[in-house]
């Protein structure tokens, strides 16, 4: 007799490489390790950023037995041209619900639907799980500390109407796990309770309460005290339980088809082992022209080899070009580097435009350190390959990550800006030298990175903490499907 079809989970990834990449990896593991079938649903990307990454991520899923389904475009032209990216995304997701409902019904007509897993931006999708009578788990691509920050803001505002929201006003916010967060590190969204984005975040967090749980892209040993403390808080029950299931880092082989277009990995092959500093600010990080020049000088003066993924500078001081597609592909970011810089550093260094196959770079034997914007995916990729970091947070929750990494985890040195906000060349050069050769701080950070690489591998191996968590959750979904069939 034919085997019964596998219980089917539908994951919904909001636009953006940092959301799509780990959600896809979660889908792949549910299928490869936990006996489920999976469909990954994507939205049309309103800003079409970094096109190379998402297409390669999706194309690699087919071979892994994960189906993909793209929602159709919805009209957004009534939104103001300067609408905040979060507003655009939330509108896009909200307006796509009818299409998603039809898609889910269609999947259910031929499969045993076991669970719905929208990512953290897609909480408006949760009611569809209730309609279909299946459990809903939110996939949270950040860490538990960021989820705790969200939870603190939501609880602080329990019962408050939109016009009466309260600020997370403490100078240093104390979060579970002994994390102490300075106000400037809260992230853009939590700075001002009067800003529309704060209202959006609170509404998003309130909707989270309808979920049965969170699958969080973290693991016990990177936030041990937070994981343990949250287990207790959850028992008090105002927020769904959070299951650490990471690090969800894709295998470097997934990047094969982008590497040739963007970066000559042969250059890296020619460098000595453990000699190269990799510099990248993720899929949307942007520096001003002045800051780009300072970084160039800092790298040059450090005396070390480097591989720098140079992005278009921001012309008006923004830290991110998320949602802006107009200049992409039109201009050459390398043209904004200081005069003579490429010539002076050629041979020992390589600057590439816009995008690199990052997991391949971080897993390469030549790579020794990572100057990073601390996006959580980049962080986990670094940790999973034992690469210590220099933390240079730019926007969103990157300040939270930088705090955790430098203060609590100890795998990063943090850069300090001058009073005018600029990070000076001397600061950059000194941090690079300390991380590469330092006998005290640098050495401690390098050792921690080695320890965490092993801990990350253990967490995801069969029987490891994250493996077990995912197995437990997948087991619950499967059992519930069988229960529903018998009814």
Could you list the beta-strand ranges (E) of 312-366: 349-353
* 408 is a site residue for ligand UDP (CB under 6 A): no
Cβ closest to ligand UDP, residue 294 vs residue 381: 381
Cβ closest to ligand UDP, residue 231 vs residue 256: 256
* 9 is a site residue for ligand UDP (CB under 6 A): no
What's the helix, strand, coil split of the chain in %, to 5? Answer: 50, 15, 35
Q: How many whole angstroms separate alpha carbon 264 and alpha carbon 353?
A: 12
* 92 is a site residue for ligand UDP (CB under 6 A): no
Q: Please select the residue that binds ligand UDP; options are 42, 145, 349, 377, rule is CB under 6 A.
A: 377
Peptide bond into 151 cis (omega under 30): no
* 247 is a site residue for ligand UDP (CB under 6 A): no
- x-or-dash string of contact with ligand UDP, 46-65, rule CB under 6 A: -------x------------
Shortest distance in whole angstroms from residue 369 CB to ligand UDP: 16
Catalytic pick from 119, 185, 221, 254? 119
* 381 is a site residue for ligand UDP (CB under 6 A): yes
Q: Please select the residue that binds ligand UDP; options are 137, 376, 392, 477, rule is CB under 6 A.
A: 376
Token readout for 268 is 């890296």
Could you list the beta-strand ranges (E) of 43-140: 66-70, 112-118, 137-140
Segment near ligand UDP (CB under 6 A); pick from 125-133, 150-158, 369-377, 477-485: 369-377
Distances, alpha carbon 266 to alpha carbons 258, 260, 275, 302, 305, in Å: 14, 10, 15, 23, 15
Q: Whose structure tokens read 């602080």?
A: 156
Cβ closest to ligand UDP, residue 56 vs residue 481: 56
Q: How many whole angstroms separate alpha carbon 375 and alpha carbon 383?
A: 12
Could you list the beta-strand ranges (E) of 71-164: 112-118, 137-140
* 375 is a site residue for ligand UDP (CB under 6 A): yes
Q: Whose structure tokens read 């200081």?
A: 338
Q: What is the CA radius of gyration of the chain?
A: 22
Shortest distance in whole angstroms from residue 59 CB to ligand UDP: 15
* 21 is a site residue for ligand UDP (CB under 6 A): yes
Q: Please select the residue that binds ligand UDP; options are 38, 66, 309, 412, rule is CB under 6 A.
A: 309
State how far Cα 245 lies from the chain centre.
14
Q: How many whole angstroms separate alpha carbon 152 and alpha carbon 229?
A: 14
Segment near ligand UDP (CB under 6 A); pick from 93-101, 184-192, 237-245, 357-365: 357-365
* Non-local CB neighbours of 83 within 8 Å, separated by 6+ positions: 91
Helix 465-486 vs helix 17-34: crossing angle, to nearest 10: 70
* 393 is a site residue for ligand UDP (CB under 6 A): no
Segment near ligand UDP (CB under 6 A); pick from 14-22, 228-236, 297-305, 479-487: 14-22
- Known catalytic residue: 321? no
Cβ closest to ligand UDP, residue 37 vs residue 216: 216
SS3 for 386? Answer: coil
Segment near ligand UDP (CB under 6 A); pick from 15-23, 93-101, 124-132, 429-437: 15-23
Q: Please select the residue that binds ligand UDP; options are 7, 18, 244, 393, rule is CB under 6 A.
A: 18
- Known catalytic residue: 256? no
Q: Please select the residue that binds ligand UDP; options are 150, 181, 307, 356, rule is CB under 6 A.
A: 356
Cβ closest to ligand UDP, residue 309 vs residue 423: 309
Segment near ligand UDP (CB under 6 A); pick from 58-66, 155-163, 352-360, 455-463: 352-360
Q: How many whole angstroms separate alpha carbon 251 and alpha carbon 77?
A: 38
Q: How many residues are listed for the chain in this entry? A: 487
Shortest distance in whole angstroms from residue 52 CB to ligand UDP: 8
Segment near ligand UDP (CB under 6 A); pick from 11-19, 103-111, 405-413, 454-462: 11-19
Q: How many whole angstroms separate alpha carbon 3 and alpha carbon 321?
A: 49
SS3 for 97? Answer: helix
DSSP class of residue 254?
G
Q: Which helix (H) or strand (E) holds 182?
A: strand 179-182
Scan residues 96-155 and list those touching ligand UDP (CB under 6 A).
Answer: none
User: Side-chain half-sphere of 213: how many Cα atoms within 13 Å?
Assistant: 20
> How many residues bind to ligand UDP according to rule CB under 6 A?
20
Cβ closest to ligand UDP, residue 157 vs residue 466: 466
Q: Strand pairing of 179-182 and 172-175?
A: antiparallel
Q: Please select the residue that binds ligand UDP; options are 282, 298, 313, 323, rule is CB under 6 A.
A: 282
Catalytic pick from 19, 220, 364, 385? 19
Segment near ligand UDP (CB under 6 A); pick from 68-76, 191-199, 376-384, 453-461: 376-384
Token readout for 49 is 């950023």
DSSP letters of 256-318?
A: HHHHHHH--HHHHHTSPTT-EEEEE-TTTB--BHHHHHHHHHHHHHH--EEEEEE-PPBSSS-
Cβ closest to ligand UDP, residue 99 vs residue 453: 453
Shortest distance in whole angstroms from residue 445 CB to ligand UDP: 19
Shortest distance in whole angstroms from residue 371 CB to ligand UDP: 13
Residues involved in catalysis: 19, 119
- Residues in contact with ligand UDP by CB under 6 A are 16-18, 21, 53, 280, 282-284, 309, 355-359, 375-378, 381
């Amino acid at each position: 007799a034919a085997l019964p079809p596998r219980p089917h989970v539908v994951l919904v990834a909001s636009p953006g490489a940092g959301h799509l990449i780990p959600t896809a990896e979660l889908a792949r593991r549910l299928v490869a390790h936990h006996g489920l079938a999976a469909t990954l649903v994507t939205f049309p990307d309103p800003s079409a950023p970094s096109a190379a990454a998402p297409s390669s991520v999706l194309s690699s899923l087919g071979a892994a037995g994960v189906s993909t389904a793209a929602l159709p475009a919805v009209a957004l032209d009534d939104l103001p041209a300067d609408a905040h990216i979060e507003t655009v995304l939330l509108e896009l997701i909200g307006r796509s619900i009818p299409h998603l409902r039809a898609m889910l019904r269609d999947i259910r007509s031929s499969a045993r639907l076991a669970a719905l897993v929208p990512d953290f931006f897609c909480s408006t999708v949760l009611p569809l799980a209730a309609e279909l009578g299946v459990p809903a788990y939110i996939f949270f691509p950040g860490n538990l500390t960021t989820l705790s920050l969200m939870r603190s803001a939501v609880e602080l505002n329990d019962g408050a109407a939109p016009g009466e929201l309260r600020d997370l006003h403490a100078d240093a916010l104390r979060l579970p796990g002994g994390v102490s967060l300075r106000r400037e590190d809260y992230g853009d969204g939590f700075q001002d309770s009067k800003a529309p984005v704060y209202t959006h975040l609170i509404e998003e967090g309130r909707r989270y309460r309808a979920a049965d749980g969170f699958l969080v892209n973290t693991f016990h040993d990177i936030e041990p005290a937070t994981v343990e403390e949250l287990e207790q808080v959850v028992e008090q029950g105002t927020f769904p339980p959070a299951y650490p299931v990471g690090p969800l880092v894709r295998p470097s082989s997934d990047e094969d088809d982008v590497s040739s277009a963007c970066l000559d990995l042969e250059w890296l092959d020619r460098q000595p082992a453990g000699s190269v500093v990799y510099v990248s600010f993720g899929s949307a990080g942007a520096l001003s022209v002045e800051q780009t020049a300072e970084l160039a000088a800092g790298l040059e003066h450090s005396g070390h080899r480097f591989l720098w993924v140079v992005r278009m500078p921001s012309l008006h001081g923004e830290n991110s070009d998320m949602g802006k597609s107009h200049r992409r592909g039109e201009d050459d970011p390398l043209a904004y580097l200081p005069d003579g810089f490429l010539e002076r550093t050629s041979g020992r260094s390589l600057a590439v435009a816009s995008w690199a196959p990052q997991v391949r770079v971080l897993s390469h034997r030549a790579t020794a350190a990572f100057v990073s914007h601390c996006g959580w995916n980049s962080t986990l990729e670094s940790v999973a390959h034992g690469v210590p970091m220099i933390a240079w947070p730019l926007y969103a929750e990157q300040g939270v990550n930088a705090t955790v990494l430098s203060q609590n985890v100890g795998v990063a040195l943090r850069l300090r800006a001058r009073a005018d906000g600029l990070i000076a060349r001397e600061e950059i050069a000194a941090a690079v030298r300390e991380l590469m050769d330092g006998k005290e701080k640098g050495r401690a950070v390098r050792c921690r990175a080695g320890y965490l690489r092993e801990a990350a591998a253990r967490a995801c191996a069969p029987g490891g903490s994250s493996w077990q968590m995912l197995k437990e959750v997948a087991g619950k979904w499967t059992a519930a499907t069988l229960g529903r069939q018998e009814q």
